[in-house]
Amino acid sequence: MMPKSKYLITLFATLFLLLLGIQGYFMYKTYQVKEREIYRTVHEKITHYTDQLEDLGGIKNRTDDTIQKILIDYHDKKISKKDFLDYFNKNRKENEARLNQYVDNSFKKEGYKIAAKIEYTSIVYLPDGSNLIDRPLVLYETSNKVVKPKISNTGTWETTSKFSSKDGEPSKKESFLVKSNTGFEVLNIKTIIFKELALLTICCAAILASVLLMYIFTVKNLARQQKHVEVLHTVVDNISHEFKTPIATLKIASKALKKEWNPETLPLIDRQISRLESLMLQLDKDETSEETPPIQPNDWNYFVQDIAFTYPETDFEFISQVSEELPFDKNLMETIIKNLCGNSVKYGASHVKVDISAISQHLKIEVSDNGCGIEKSELTHIFEKFYRIQSNNIHNTKGLGLGLYFVKNIVTKYHGSIDVSSRLNSGTTFKISIPYEN
């Protein structure tokens, strides 16, 4: 279940990121489309007007010959560079106000903040190929300065005039090749587009958030159901494992009664029946049920007696220094003793020693045996669920690998500690310490 859940979470995360990327891509493309539409509108409205201004300086009441004469005089060095530039600066100031007014009025309704700039990039005197300007000459620019023009119109044209010589010489042909550039920029275009796409962005975000929330809810619900299933499996595993010992004991007691009468057999049967009834009650037990009565001093002895009866071939030695009742669940303490002792018998112990004591409000349980022992590499795994010690990759004993797992869980429940030491072919010792309060 868990690996599948991890795969599903990874798959969803991948698909969600892919969906997020697709949404982001389409939002970006929508942004570009809106940007092109706005610039197309701006371009169509002001291009014709700027073309008129650009036409060789756009000078009010000027003639082409006047402009041509200025260019020729500057080329022939009859006027200085300063006079040449002042000529265009003067006319730029005269016409920039009209340009600003036109732009502001044209896009006042849309709220566009427009920046435009018209400049000559080169003025080449064709007869000798010389360029009159060494850097772009700004003809007109709006009060909003162009930073990064999004649309640039370039133009190239040739202007030619003939002038007669004063000395009666043939007329002279003067030609210039002019290149210009007109740049546009909508300075607040991001704000405008984001306002227009606000509803679409909110809808996309809401859809993505809804999908994510639904998935989180589904995962949480799945985890909750999975936890319930795991708890149910743990309970079933626990009960099925715990049924084995009393059933085996009852079988042996039944055989003993068939052979001969023994007055100790009937109390043993009663104890095992009580244990089976207690295990059955756990199936119906809920978290609000009352706690079980505390364990009595004699109960420890009965635990060892019952396990010794089940395994008559094994010698059990029991030492108890407990003389008072302790605030522990009797069934859980019986599980600890019988699981540890049963584990010793399964792994070849002929002698098992159980030592119980209560010191400084700590219950001490020590179970040692002379079995085959446990390899050091196995010690870190013996408390894992379903783990069973192997020899040459072959399980030598029957079982589900749950006994020590349950022992560890019980000790952890009571905030205790468990320590194990072992030597191969010499035996194993389990030491448990559980705190309690009177």
- CATH code at 378? 3.30.565.10
CB atoms within 10 A of CB 418: 19
Type of residue at 423: R
Q: Model confidence over 284-297: pLDDT tens digits? A: 554 444 556 789 99
The pLDDT of residue 353: 95
**Rama region for 371: left / alpha / beta (φ>0; ψ in -120 to 50; rest):** beta
Measured in Å, how far apart are the chain's first and last C-alpha atoms? 43
Q: Do residue 174 and residue 302 come from a single domain?
A: no
The answer to whether residue 220 sits within a structural domain is: no
Mean of the pLDDT values across residues 33-38?
88
The answer to whether residue 20 sits within a structural domain is: yes
| pLDDT of 139 over the 90 cut | no
Q: Do residue 421 and residue 314 come from a single domain?
A: yes
- How many CA atoms lie less than 13 Å away from 136 in the CB half-sphere? 15
Q: Do residue 122 and residue 6 come from a single domain?
A: yes
Q: Do residue 73 and residue 182 come from a single domain?
A: yes
The answer to whether residue 118 sits within a structural domain is: yes
* CB of 219 closer than 8 Å to CB of 9: yes
> Domain end: 178, 196, 214, which one?
196
> Domain end: 179, 196, 213, which one?
196
The pLDDT of residue 319: 93
Q: Do residue 170 and residue 304 come from a single domain?
A: no
Q: Do residue 178 and residue 312 come from a single domain?
A: no
Report helix, strand or coil for 292. Answer: coil
In this structure, of 173-177, 213-217, 394-398, 423-427, the range with the lowest mean pLDDT score is: 394-398
Mean of the pLDDT values across residues 312-316?
90
Residue 302, domain extent: 291-435
Q: Do residue 306 and residue 184 come from a single domain?
A: no
Q: Looking at the 3D structure of the chain, how many domains does it have?
A: 2
Q: Do residue 169 and residue 26 come from a single domain?
A: yes
Report helix, strand or coil for 202. Answer: helix
Axis-axis angle for helices 198-259, 2-54 (nearest 10): 170
> Domain end: 196, 227, 254, which one?
196
Q: Do residue 186 and residue 329 come from a single domain?
A: no
Mean of the pLDDT values across residues 177-192?
87
Q: Model confidence over 87-112: pLDDT tens digits? A: 888 877 777 777 888 888 888 888 88
Q: Do residue 177 and residue 298 come from a single domain?
A: no
The answer to whether residue 80 sits within a structural domain is: yes
Helices (H), 136-197: 189-196
Contacts for 293 with CB less than 8 Å, ≥ 6 apart: 330
The answer to whether residue 83 sits within a structural domain is: yes
Going by C-alpha positions, the residue among 157, 142, 133, 177 that lies closest to residue 49 is 142
The answer to whether residue 392 sits within a structural domain is: yes
Q: Model confidence over 187-231: pLDDT tens digits? A: 888 888 888 888 888 988 898 888 888 888 888 887 777 776 776
β-pairing, 315-320 with 294-295? Answer: unpaired
The answer to whether residue 73 sits within a structural domain is: yes
Q: Taking all residues of the chain, what is their mean pLDDT, rounded to a whole number? A: 79
Name the band, by pLDDT with cuts 50, 70 and 90, for residue 354.
very high
The answer to whether residue 273 sits within a structural domain is: no
Mean of the pLDDT values across residues 52-56?
52
